[in-house]
């Protein structure tokens, strides 16, 4: 059975795995091994360090190294490796789990340098028919799991194959240590596959497919500072003609002109300018308008260790059907964007970043147009940018979501009902007087 320390290491590493999501760190699982070695789940080991930790427990034993193409911590949390887990439970010597190991493909070389003979096994026919000498490593290359719908089934097949091969070796000699790992992290491969999705070329008349505009990163560097901006999907600017009650939705799926953007770290001020030109409405609601120009400006400032969006304004020249609307320096109501310095502001779900014509300071403004700027995956950091990457994200979604609040309230109601039931049971009084057939009948009054 997987020891409690191994399970705790697995859970902790999963919580912090995002910090190393772009590194090829692979879990390593050993069974039938008696060792007191421990690993820090937040620290990665290389192949040499791993062998050094368990070298004493591997002395004078046959090692069966099962090498898969891809593996991740999430695979151990699933039920796809149930055969392997059952196999480990049958051995009493114990298990060892390292959640993050680099250069696992070099394990055979490291063991060979430690004095082990290395034998590669490609199929069942290559398995030894007789006991092998001590200090031998059998490297069993498992079939490819592949990405996609078949991976779950392939993991189960590999788990069954590990169990069969290990049982065959165990029947020949008792001291067999099993090691299961892979060459690459499957989560890393999935991330790379998502990033390799081909993007469609822009169409004519300024139309660009929305899917073609994804994962857009802008690095605006100046002598006085640096600003990072990221769009997971193209933002949408919605402008409504209130007189005719018609919306024009413009998908901002072209790279904006950022002329006018600046960041002054010394003066604690900054401005982000995004200018779009020549876009047509998207969607069936309105197909005859045109966005001649729209310039969205975010003003930044800092205060008491935080940076925040001080003000957002928009200039636009737009045609909706046969009407043209022009606005200059129209102040928008912006989502509360406030984040500690050296951290970025991040919002994954689709949200309204800025708007006009809606509630503002408790009152509704007078307007002839409604303006909404929607984003779907947005990240921004204008101050204290370092190491060419975003600082830790300050998410727009708080920890206490609707589901968590519902669970807390429901739990409190159940706890109150349970407390009431316990108090009712505790208030039950047993009789302390009994009828005597030879005596006077007991009379219970209302006060009793």
pTM over 0.85? The answer is: no
DSSP 195-234: HTPPPPPP-STT---GGGSEEEEEEEEETTEEEEEEEEE-
- CB-based contacts of 97: which residues, under 8 Å, 6+ apart? 2, 6, 9, 10, 27, 28, 29, 30, 39
Give the residues across from 376 on adjacent strands.
350
Is 403 among the domain residues? no
Phi, psi of 205 (to 5 degrees): 60, 30
Is 155 among the domain residues? yes
Question: Contact at 8 Å (CB) between 37 and 51?
Answer: no
Query: What pLDDT is stored for residue 435 in this prediction?
Result: 64
Query: What pLDDT is stored for residue 240 in this prediction?
Result: 80
Query: What pLDDT is stored for residue 201 in this prediction?
Result: 36
Query: What pLDDT is stored for residue 15 in this prediction?
Result: 45
> Based on the domain organization, do 180 and 220 belong to the same domain?
no
Give how many domains the chain has, as a whole number.
2
Q: What angle do CA 308, 314, 316 make, to 5 degrees?
A: 165
Query: What pLDDT is stored for residue 409 in this prediction?
Result: 93
CATH classification at residue 224:
2.40.160.110
3-state SS, residue 244 = coil
Query: What pLDDT is stored for residue 422 in this prediction?
Result: 93
Query: What pLDDT is stored for residue 420 in this prediction?
Result: 93
Mean pLDDT of successive 10-residue segments in the chain (448 residues)?
48 45 75 81 82 84 88 81 76 79 89 88 76 83 73 84 86 86 75 44 42 71 77 85 77 87 84 87 62 89 86 87 83 80 79 65 53 84 78 69 83 95 87 68 64
- Alpha carbon 94 to its chain centroid, in Å, reads 32
> Based on the domain organization, do 241 and 363 belong to the same domain?
yes
> Based on the domain organization, do 266 and 168 belong to the same domain?
no
Helices (H), 271-318: none
> 64: domain range?
4-192
> Based on the domain organization, do 246 and 382 belong to the same domain?
yes
Query: What pLDDT is stored for residue 126 in this prediction?
Result: 75
> Based on the domain organization, do 224 and 158 belong to the same domain?
no
Is 431 among the domain residues? no
> Based on the domain organization, do 387 and 262 belong to the same domain?
yes
Radius of gyration of the chain from its Cα atoms, rounded to whole angstroms: 33
> Based on the domain organization, do 253 and 391 belong to the same domain?
yes
């Amino acid at each position: 059975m997987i020891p409690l320390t191994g399970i705790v290491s697995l859970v902790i590493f999963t919580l912090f795995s995002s910090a190393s999501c772009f590194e090829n760190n692979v879990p390593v699982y050993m069974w039938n091994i008696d060792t007191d070695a421990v690993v820090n789940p937040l620290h990665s080991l290389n192949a040499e360090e791993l062998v050094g930790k368990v070298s004493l427990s591997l002395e004078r034993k046959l090692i069966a190294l099962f090498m898969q193409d891809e593996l991740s911590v999430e695979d151990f949390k699933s039920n796809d490796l149930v055969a392997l887990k059952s196999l480990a439970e049958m051995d009493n010597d114990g298990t060892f789990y390292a959640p993050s190991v680099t250069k696992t493909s070099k394990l055979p070389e490291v063991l060979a340098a430690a004095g082990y003979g290395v034998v590669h096994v490609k199929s069942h026919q290559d398995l030894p028919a007789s006991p092998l000498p001590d200090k031998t490593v059998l490297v069993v290359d498992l079939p490819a799991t592949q990405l996609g719908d078949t991976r779950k089934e392939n993991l189960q097949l590999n788990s069954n194959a590990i169990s069969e091969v290990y049982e065959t070796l165990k029947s020949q000699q008792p001291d067999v240590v099993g090691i299961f790992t892979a060459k690459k992290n499957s989560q890393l491969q999935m991330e790379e596959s998502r990033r390799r999705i081909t993007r469609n070329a822009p169409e004519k008349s300024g139309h660009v497919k929305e899917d073609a505009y994804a994962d857009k990163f802008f690095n605006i560097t100046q002598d006085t500072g640096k600003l990072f901006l990221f769009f997971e999907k193209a933002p949408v600017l919605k402008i409504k003609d209130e007189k005719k009650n018609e919306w024009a939705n413009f998908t901002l799926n072209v790279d904006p002109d950022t002329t006018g953007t600046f960041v002054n770290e010394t003066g604690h001020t900054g401005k982000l300018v995004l200018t779009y030109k020549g876009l047509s409405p998207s969607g069936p609601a309105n197909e005859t308008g045109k966005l001649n120009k729209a310039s969205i400006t975010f003003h930044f400032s800092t205060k008491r260790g935080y940076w925040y969006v001080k003000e957002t304004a928009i200039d636009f020249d737009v045609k909706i059907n046969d009407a043209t609307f022009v606005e200059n320096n129209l102040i928008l109501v912006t989502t509360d964007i406030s984040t500690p310095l050296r951290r970025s502001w991040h919002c994954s779900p689709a949200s309204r970043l800025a708007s006009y014509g809606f509630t503002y300071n408790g009152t509704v403004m007078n307007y002839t147009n409604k303006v909404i700027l929607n984003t779907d995956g947005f990240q921004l950091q204008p101050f204290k940018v370092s190491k060419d990457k975003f600082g830790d994200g300050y998410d727009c979604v708080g920890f206490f979501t609707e589901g968590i609040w519902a669970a807390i309230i429901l739990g409190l109601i159940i706890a109150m009902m349970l407390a009431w039931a316990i108090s009712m049971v505790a208030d039950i009084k047993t009789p302390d007087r009994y009828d005597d057939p030879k005596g006077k009948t007991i009379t219970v009054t209302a006060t009793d």
